[in-house]
Structure 1
Amino acid sequence: MKPIRTMVTFALACGLQLGMGSAWAQEDGLVTGSAGAVTYASGGVGDDQRAALAAMKPDFNLRLTFATRGSGDLKAGVALAITDSKRKPMMQLADSGPNVYVKLPAGTYWISATLDGQEQSRSVTLGRNGAARDVLFYWGEPADQATVR
């Protein structure tokens, strides 16, 4: 697993140097990229992706997980948008998950996640101390989705 971590770390460093604004590295479905001061990694399907994300976990201060209510089955294909407290877009992914790790500057952010037409939103504040926040989004069975706001 060490070669995967080295490749991903190198790719993240190169992307930061180049200032790219979209997904720029994809290794077996694990997508990494940057948008301005924001870096991210999305994936988690399969053992290799989970291991790669686990190795990168300490580098990110916001960690999102998308799953099914009750069973905990992970969900991919989530449209994700993160804006700052003034609703300025920080990042947007059309197809993310089931895990998305994001590194953001300290501040308050609005996270909007949409799966199968059902949108959920959360506010999260990231402190200057660098402590990470884990945010879980659960979608229920179709009969339950009407209660999700």
Structure 2
Amino acid sequence: MNRSIPLVLALVGYTAAGMAWAANPEQPTIQSLTPSEISSGALTPHEAQGIRYVSGGIGIEERGWLAQHGREFNVHATFALAQGGSFVADVRVEIKDASGKTLLTTTANGPKFLAALKPGAYTLVATHDGQSLTRQFTVGAKGTQQLGFGFKS
């Protein structure tokens, strides 16, 4: 009996029913979205205290929009459950400067939160379901800070 067949089938993306999900036109990928589909998921960036930010990522169109516009923001935070990795929304986001002064308080309405910050040292406190997680980071003149938050379920 050849035990490598199930592994090979799993690697090429077959479901238990034997249908290739990658070739299923009913399940689009970000790469298959048209510009008008990406525009249909357009998220509205906000600005407060000189910080431009956006949150979302629910639905393929929003994820497409975030992928297309991600370079406009130098801080990318992702919110999920630590166990199982399910994404979460309705996360309270607080950004503080190096002295501890709160610059922004908002609620992320999706698992992705993107912000454009000036170079400097910051702290982001993310609160979900009564649990707060803190990340300290530095924004440079170039590049993007990727911050991951894994909440306990």
Same-fold call, TM cutoff 0.5: yes
Measured on the aligned residues, the alpha-carbon RMSD in Å equals 2.0
Find the partner of 1:41 among 20, 31, 54: 54
Seen in structure 2, the aligned counterparts of structure 1 residues 3 and 29 have a Cα distance that, compared at 3 Å, is closer
Q: Deviations over 1:6-50 (max 9, x none)?
A: x7xxxxxxxxxxxxxxxxxxx768342011321011000111110
| Residue aligned with 1:52, SS | helix
Distance 1:60 1:138 in 2: 21
Counterpart residue number, 1:133: 145
TM-score, structure 2 as length reference: 0.71
TM-score, structure 1 as length reference: 0.73
Structural mapping, 1:88-103, within 5 Å: 88-103=101-116
AA at the equivalent of 1:117: G
Gaps in structure 1 of 5+ consecutive residues? 8-26, 142-149
- Contact kept, 8 Å, 1:29 with 1:43, in 2: the verdict is no
Find the partner of 2:121 among 108, 115, 128: 108
Gaps in structure 2 of 5+ consecutive residues? 1-33
- Contact kept, 8 Å, 1:67 with 1:74, in 2: the verdict is yes
The number of residue pairs the alignment matches comes to 120
- Structure that is richer in strand per residue: 1
1:80 aligns with 2:93: yes
Using the aligned pairs only, state the percent identity.
29
Seen in structure 2, the aligned counterparts of structure 1 residues 58 and 41 have a Cα distance that, compared at 3 Å, is same
Find the partner of 1:53 among 43, 55, 66: 66
Please identify the structure whose Cα radius of gyration is greater: 2
1:95: Cα distance to partner?
A: 4.3
AA at the equivalent of 2:146: D
AA at the equivalent of 2:148: L
